[in-house]
Structure 1
Amino acid sequence: MLRARDAMDRRFAEALDVPALARIAHVSPAHFIRTFRATFGETPHRYLQRRRVERAMALLVSTDRSVTDICMAVGFTSLGTFSRTFREIVGESPKAYRGAHPRVDHVPTHFAMAWTRPSSFGEGRGRRSE
């Protein structure tokens, strides 16, 4: 499970699917989904979405790139899906998030990402998020 999660952390902007991640973990896709959720508290799909949103949050406050450009750079293929997912995880739209947070050019990206990382606690538990 750790190998698959590490692969998602490294390659979050790539198109990753459950069968490929299950192969990395050396288990079947169904077993991978069940075990990943039991181990990390969220589905592989939701984990990958959250990682992408975390990276988008850092880019929104450290660059002047457009929201659409950031959406594509972090691995989303639809601006609508990106905006909806961003709002579900962060609680506000990407544009509102950028406006509410000052630019942080002087802060290393890994510090900014850790500081602004959204919590997976309190999200609609019991709701299917795929």
Structure 2
Amino acid sequence: MNRDLQLLRRLLRAKDRIDAEPNQPWTVSRLASVSGVSEAHFARCFREAFGIPPHRYLLTRRVERAAALLRDTELPVIEIAMQVGWDSIGTFGRTFRDIMGENPTALRRRLRVHDDALEWVPHCFLSAAHRPHLKMAVSEKRRSTKGARQDA
């Protein structure tokens, strides 16, 4: 039991690093070294502990940060993409759309329309409401929507 708590602390250390700097290139090997375990053991234990693989968790954090910047700043979408850790605007846009269900510009436009109505809502509630739900891989989502379109 004591070993399980130690492992969980190590996993939380890696998760905290992602949360603190989601724009960094957090590979599984780098996160495993932060945790002090092998790559395979880290990936398996992270998924068991937090319900999603480390890479998906990283994507979630990056998209959350990008959505907050889209809402709170006037920065161009390409600059936001680079700030949150993407090297390619195309990959950023595709991943953002797959996770959030709309492209970054559409999200910004929609959030701005409702900006006055949500002024009194605490920021933490807004962040939680806009948090992406990443239980399946982006490629799995793409496959399931393509299959649904072909059936229609």
Interval containing the TM-score (normalised by the shorter chain): 0.7 to 0.9
Question: What residue identity is the alignment partner of 1:115?
Answer: A
Structure ID, larger Rg: 2
Q: Which runs of 5+ in 1 are unaligned?
A: none
The answer to whether 1:117 aligns with 2:127 is no
Q: Distance in 1 between matches of 2:22 and 2:137?
A: 23
Question: What residue identity is the alignment partner of 2:44?
Answer: R
More helix by share: 2
Which of 13, 20, 24 matches 1:10? 20
Q: Which runs of 5+ in 2 are unaligned?
A: 1-10, 143-152
C-alpha deviation, 1:41, in angstroms: 1.5
C-alpha deviation, 1:127, in angstroms: 3.7
Question: What residue identity is the alignment partner of 1:72?
Answer: M
C-alpha deviation, 1:26, in angstroms: 1.2
Alignment of 1:1-130 (within 5 A): 1-102=11-112, 103=115, 110-121=124-135, 123=136, 127=140
TM-score, length-scaled by structure 1: 0.85
Aligned-residue RMSD, C-alpha: 2.5
Equivalent pairs: percent with the same residue? 46
Question: In 2 relative to 1, CA 128–16 (structure 1 residues): closer, same or farther, beyond 3 Å?
Answer: farther
Question: What residue identity is the alignment partner of 1:6?
Answer: D
C-alpha deviation, 1:124, in angstroms: 5.4
C-alpha deviation, 1:109, in angstroms: 5.5
Q: Distance in 2 between matches of 1:74 and 1:111?
A: 21
**Secondary structure of 2:23's partner?**
coil
Q: Distance in 1 between matches of 2:139 and 2:93?
A: 22
Note the alpha carbon deviations across 1:76-126, whole angstroms, 9 max, x for none.
11111111110111000011111111258x6776554233212235x4599
Note the alpha carbon deviations across 1:29-83, whole angstroms, 9 max, x for none.
1111111112112111111011000000000011110000000000111111111
